[in-house]
Structure 1
Amino acid sequence: MRCFISALAAGLLELAHPNGAAAQTPRQNPFRQAEKQLLDGKGNLNYVAPLRTLLAGKTQFDPDVYGQALATYYSFVGQLSPAPRSTASRPGTYQLADPMPLIAARAKISRVVILNEDHTQPGHRAFCQELLTVLASLGYHHFAVEALDPADKAINTRNYPLSSSGYYTREPTMGRLLRAARATGFEVFGHEITRGQEKEFADWRRQYNYRDSMQAVNILAVMKNNPAAKIVVYVGHDHVLEHEREGLKHMAAYLRELGHFDPLTIDQTTPYYYAGPAPTTPRLLTTNGQVPTTTGFNAQLVDLQVIHPPHVAPGNRPAWLATAAAGKLIQVPIPSPYAGTQCLAQLYDQGEYQRHGDQAIPLDQYFSAASQKQVRLYALFPKQRVVVKYRPANLRLAADRLSH
């Protein structure tokens, strides 16, 4: 199964994926080169090596997608880029409300809820994790995940992802989301186009549209086999859009057209200007606190928009790790010989790591500074048995972090 990677180039367009055909440029595809360093021949993960490659070879890479690649690999190791902000929204025009009651009210009368994400913002996955609990109480028990390789059927008996489960599933918060979905009772499946469905088109718009149509077909096949199923669909960026734009027809639009129903679509990627103090938790965009509305580039193309707060990072950790994605805080001293050095601190489920080693996906990880005496890592479940690993890093993060 090939992995599809989203990229920002000439607006929000999607790059094919790191191992397949991409736009022809005189420079290397940074996603493709970095992924070669992410996995070894046995499927073991190395989260530091891709960043070394990207930082050392900046001038060799396609500048249109270099920044997206760097932000993606930083997000894998807990170095989060600031959530984008815009002054496009006029101060005072909107009110921000608690999203859960308003989403639940719409979800009760729907059969499919589609939620998107910015691939460099793991906080969007943390919000989805929280939302799954609400939707499960409304009868939603199937979870379609674009990032999950459709070939990984065993995830529903294993209950956690591995390095072979997909591309974005290697990011710890996405791994937490999949584990939490299984623990909440969701049947998880990947709806991405399969290798057997792939076709090549000379026109990139036809290629995009075909891919999204096949995603919709794959979801509809599960619905046909499970007539009473209510499904949560988790996608990247524009796949959530219900209507065609600039010659591109998106998965949600195909699902609506082919399935003859109206999905509930929720956008998390729209930048927003805060007229006053920014909230500390995700909020829903409304006109008066009760009536949802939409704004920005995706206005009128989705039903609801969730606005995320700026990152608040006590102890160099994002606030949502202790709220929406709450788990047990593991606070331990950094042992010698890692004390006084920069290292990647990784938290694993003990059983997963014993069975799979470095093919396991960390529960949490981030770069510790040389000045730190201890690390703060979050397990997913309160009584989860865990193990902490340390990997030398020595990257010039302060100078190079998102310096594209």
Structure 2
Amino acid sequence: MTHIKTFGIMYRFSHLLLLLLLISCSSSKSKLPENNYFNRNYFYNDSLKVGIDFDKNVQFREVSSDKEKEFKQLLKSNKISPKDLFLVADCKEKGVEIYFFYKNVPSSSINPNNRKTVVSDTVNNTFFFEKQKGKRKVLGLVKTNAAKDNTPSIFVTDLLNKIAIDSLNTSKMSFVSIFAKNFPSVHPNPLFASKKLETAPLKSKGGNDDKFQFLSTVNSSMSNNKLYDSLIVSYEKERKQNFNSLIVDLSNKEDVYKDNAVFGKIAEIAKENQVIMLNEDHYYPKHRLFAMELLETLKANGYNYLSLEGFNITSNEKESTPNYHNGIYTDEPYFAHFIRKAIALGFTVSGHENVDKGGDREMGQAKNIMKILEKDPKAKIFVYVGHNHIEKKNEKKNWMAEYFKELSGINPITINQTVICADTKQDLTLLPRKYFNDTTKVKSSADYFLVNNLKPSLKIIFPNVIFKKTIIKDAKFSDYKNKEVLIEIIDFKEFDLMKNLAIPIQSFLMIPKGKEINFELPIGKYHVFVKTDNDKTIYDDDIIVN
């Protein structure tokens, strides 16, 4: 049962109103929000075991509770600490601001039943509410705008009914939503997103499930990363068992090409063919590195168009470098290096992603690539995609490459670097299709298969540049002497041009040594961010390496 009490202007509410102002303009002190998870309008805090299923159009704000001495004095009568604040939400449609606090109550105060209480200050349109289950209590402060909602008490009562203590609504929470919320499209913190995904209050199905896919995606953008390495070892294990001995048996064949010979063979293919399609696994920086190294070979053989899956050209054409607005794939440093080199070599870079939600994605992609040929019939195009989009023949469905072949009359040469994993002495091994016609291990119609064991390194990106040891110092690093932090290195010219849209040339994990973090960089000027797994930036400055 909900008890509602109405009072005039009271001492406790005049001070609680002041609390609203203090909270809204201060920095974070509470640690409770670190375990907040969101899916659109559903909220859950894993450590507190509190779930709230809000109405639509709720916006969650960053929790901030500074000026702690003032808070303690103001809230002393209500026994609420600023560190008890775990959630701030707005419902602009209703004209409502809501602040949620959490407390464990003494055993003497335990009520065996769910208890709900609402206390209202009708003059100031402010409500203070409580909901308790056992030792757990959620307290809230609601500020309403009566001009927008004539029945604020109904809103508050309804809200209380939607607060669930010790209950997670699994149908409202997903790894997809956690990824989307914590890995934004502009300058995300992959270390923070990784922690949120890894510690999410959801069961993993195992294998290549949503948790694995999103964890692998966010961790692929951070080098020196033990978690990423362990995920990939598990991901490749079965395929290596299937292919290791086969690749050894084929390694001495005359038409199996290794390392530099791979580029020589593709050069021969490029001379005679108008379209080459290469696929990638979206978790692999090494796949982007191979695509980048292939660009010079293709350019020398008349290729001047690069068409990318999931790539957006921004409306602001002043950017001559990749940026976060280009799409989710470009935020991985080696994908960005791939695009930088294509631009530097004079490729026309475009995206062929289908944006017609009502149409077939594969057909839409094929038609978008066709637009290049409509403008330039003799164009030689390098098409870069994920996984199965290169399939020209598949019993279950038609993929982009098959539609493109039908529309253009051009038989694209397809190279698959996602199917075969094997432990080889060579970095690259290229095998023709004929060696896999009679095996069930390969389910792809590709013309060639690449075993890619490249090891991404910034020294491959800058082969003729001097690297110097660099040290950055900050007292805050000492707080993380036993914990990894994320270091992002951004070319200064790009940062100066695009600020937070600029993509790092390198992102890596490291444990600080006291007040210092050291690493190697090419001679030059950079902007450096150091971030933590609770989404705090503890270093933000320019550095010069000379």
* Cα shift at 1:357: 2.3
| Alpha-carbon contact 1:94-1:286 (below 8 Å) kept | no
* Cα shift at 1:355: 2.9
Partner residue in 1 for 2:363: 213
Partner residue in 2 for 1:12: none
| Alpha-carbon contact 1:346-1:390 (below 8 Å) kept | yes
Q: 1:152 aligns with which of 289, 308, 314?
A: 314
Secondary structure of 2:371's aligned partner? helix
1:358 equivalenced with 2:503 (yes/no): no
Q: 2:323 aligns with which of 156, 162, 165?
A: 162
Alignment of 1:3-402 (within 5 A): 26=171, 28-39=173-184, 43-59=186-202, 64-78=209-223, 79=225, 80-81=228-229, 82=232, 84=236, 85-89=239-243, 90-91=245-246, 92-95=248-251, 96-97=256-257, 98-149=261-312, 151-152=313-314, 154=316, 157-194=318-355, 197-199=356-358, 210-245=360-395, 247-274=396-423, 278-285=424-431, 297-298=441-442, 301-309=445-453, 318-323=455-460, 326=463, 328=465, 329=467, 331-337=469-475, 338=477, 340=481, 341-370=483-512, 374-376=517-519, 385-393=525-533
* Cα shift at 1:105: 0.9
What do the CA deviations read for 1:24-56 (whole angstroms, capped 9, x no partner)? x9463423322322238xx44333331232122
Q: Which structure has more strand as a fraction of its residues?
A: 2
| Alpha-carbon contact 2:420-2:450 (below 8 Å) kept | no
Could you list the runs of 5+ residues in structure 1 that have no partner in the other structure?
1-24, 201-209, 312-317, 396-404
Partner residue in 1 for 2:94: none
| Alpha-carbon contact 1:126-1:325 (below 8 Å) kept | no
CA distance 1:61–1:159, shift in 2 (3 Å): farther
| Alpha-carbon contact 2:436-2:442 (below 8 Å) kept | no
What do the CA deviations read for 1:194-238 (whole angstroms, capped 9, x no partner)? 1xx2217xxxxxxxxx21111000000111111221110110011
Percent of residue pairs bearing the same amino acid type: 25
| Alpha-carbon contact 1:123-1:320 (below 8 Å) kept | no
Partner residue in 1 for 2:92: none
| Alpha-carbon contact 2:281-2:387 (below 8 Å) kept | yes
Q: TM-score, normalised by structure 2?
A: 0.57
Secondary structure of 1:158's aligned partner? coil
Q: TM-score, normalised by structure 1?
A: 0.75
CA distance 1:54–1:360, shift in 2 (3 Å): same
Pairwise CA RMSD of aligned residues?
A: 2.9
What do the CA deviations read for 1:154-196 (whole angstroms, capped 9, x no partner)? 56x52212222101111111111111110111110010001xx
Distance 2:410 2:527 in 1: 46
CA distance 1:280–1:120, shift in 2 (3 Å): same
* Cα shift at 1:285: 2.3
Could you list the runs of 5+ residues in structure 2 that have no partner in the other structure?
1-169, 536-546
Residue type at the aligned position of 1:158: E
CA distance 1:225–1:117, shift in 2 (3 Å): same
Computing the radius of gyration from Cα coordinates, the structure with the larger value is 2
Q: Which deviates further from its counterpart, 212-221 or 347-356? A: 347-356
Q: Which deviates further from its counterpart, 348-357 or 370-379? A: 370-379
| Alpha-carbon contact 1:348-1:363 (below 8 Å) kept | yes
* Cα shift at 1:60: 5.9
| Alpha-carbon contact 1:26-1:62 (below 8 Å) kept | no
Distance 2:468 2:335 in 1: 19
CA distance 1:26–1:391, shift in 2 (3 Å): same
Distance 1:139 1:72 in 2: 33
| Alpha-carbon contact 1:347-1:363 (below 8 Å) kept | yes
| Alpha-carbon contact 2:390-2:414 (below 8 Å) kept | yes
Secondary structure of 2:325's aligned partner? coil
CA distance 1:186–1:384, shift in 2 (3 Å): farther
Residue type at the aligned position of 2:314: D
What do the CA deviations read for 1:236-280 (whole angstroms, capped 9, x no partner)? 0111111123x1211111111111111010111123344xxx224
* Cα shift at 1:74: 0.7
Distance 1:330 1:187 in 2: 34
What do the CA deviations read for 1:318-360 (whole angstroms, capped 9, x no partner)? 4544337757445312422326352111110102212332221
Distance 2:458 2:426 in 1: 13
| Alpha-carbon contact 1:348-1:387 (below 8 Å) kept | yes
Distance 1:327 1:237 in 2: 33
Distance 1:27 1:327 in 2: 52
| Alpha-carbon contact 2:289-2:456 (below 8 Å) kept | no
Residue type at the aligned position of 1:190: G
Distance 2:429 2:461 in 1: 13
Secondary structure of 2:210's aligned partner? helix
| Alpha-carbon contact 1:27-1:61 (below 8 Å) kept | no
Secondary structure of 2:509's aligned partner? strand
What do the CA deviations read for 1:116-148 (whole angstroms, capped 9, x no partner)? 001111110000000011101111011001031
Count matched residues: 339
| Alpha-carbon contact 2:285-2:456 (below 8 Å) kept | no
Residue type at the aligned position of 1:367: L
